[in-house]
Amino acid sequence: MNITLTSYLSHSSSKDSPLIVLNSFSDEWNSVVESLDSLGVSSYSLLVITDLDWNNALSPWKADAVFKGEPSFEGYADEYIRLLTQETIPESIKANGLSPVSTYIAGYSMAGLFALYCLYKTDLFDGAASCSGSLWFPGFTEYAISEPFLRENPRVYLSLGDRESKTKNIIMGAVENNTQTIYDNYKKHGIDCRFEMNPGGHFNEPAFRTAKGIAYLLRQIT
C-alpha cells in the first residue's frame, strides 16, 4: 500500500506531546494546522498520511458504490490498520524521537469513518475524531453498536453538518440518524463522547471541523 507521510510538530511541542494521526485528502492538512492555530491548540505532534487509495483503504468491508458509475468499496481498512499500527506509526515515532503521552486518530469523511473503526480493531489509540464521518456506510451502525472497543473508554468526537442528510441518495441520507444512534449508544455505555452539529453541508469548512475534533480529543476545547 503506497502512502505519503508527513510529520509536523507544533511550535510548543515536546517529545512527549500527544500524537495525532491524520488521514488527509491531498494537502488539506495544512489548513487543519492553520485552524488549530486559530483555536489556540498547542503542544501536539501530527503524523499526516496522504496519497491513499481513499475509498478502498478507508472502508471497513466491501460495499457497493453509492452512486451509479462509481467504483465499489473494496474494504482494505483492516490491512491498512495493520500497516499503521505495526509499521508506519512506530517507525515515525522512532524517527522523530517521540514518546507521546497519548495517541489519537482523526479524519474527515471516509477518514472519519476509518478513525472510528480503528477503535474496534486496535487498542493503540486513546481516542478518535470522526469529523463529518461517512457513518452512512452500509452495515457500520449495526457493527458500531454491537462490537466493543479494544481500549477501555476512549475519547470520541463525532460531528456532522446540519445539511448533510439533505440528499436524494437514500444511503447517504441516513448519516445523521446513524451518527445519532451511534452517539446515543456510546453515551448509554458511558463512553466519553461528544456529538457536534455544524452549519452547512458536507463540504463546509472541513479543515475547521477537523481541527475542532482534534482540539476536543486534546481537551483544549469543551
| pLDDT confidence bin for 186, thresholds 50/70/90 | very high
Residues 6+ positions from 174 with CB-CB distance below 8 Å:
136, 165
Our CA angle for 128, 133, 138, nearest 5°, is 115
Among 172, 176, 109, which residue's Cα sits nearest to residue 138? 172
Q: What are phi and psi of 159, to 5 degrees?
A: -150, 160
The answer to whether residue 222 sits within a structural domain is: no
* pLDDT for res 222: 59
Residue 18 and residue 93: Cα distance in Å, rounded?
11
For residue 207 the three cell numbers come to 479543515
DSSP 68: T
- 46-57 tens-digit pLDDT: 999 999 999 999
Per the domain annotation, does 106 fall within a domain? Answer: yes
Q: Decide the pairing of beta strands 155-161 and 127-131.
A: parallel
Residue type, 128: A
- How many domains in the chain? 1
Give the per-residue pLDDT at 220: 83
User: Does the pLDDT at position 38 exceed 90?
Assistant: yes
Hey, CA dihedral for 47, 175, 82, 217, is it positive or negative? positive
CATH number, domain of 117, equals 3.40.50.1820
pLDDT for 5-16, tens place per residue? Answer: 999 999 889 999
The H or E element that residue 27 is part of is none
Residue 79 belongs to domain spanning:
4-217
Give the model's pLDDT for residue 33.
Answer: 97
Q: Is the pLDDT of residue 101 over 80?
A: yes
pLDDT at residue 182, rounded to an integer: 98
Higher pLDDT: 70 or 5? It is 5
Residue 83 has pLDDT above 80, yes or no: yes
* pLDDT at 68 exceeding the cut of 90: no
CA dihedral 37, 40, 45, 51 (to 10 degrees): -40
- Residue in 145, 151, 156, 133 with CA at minimum distance from that of residue 182: 145
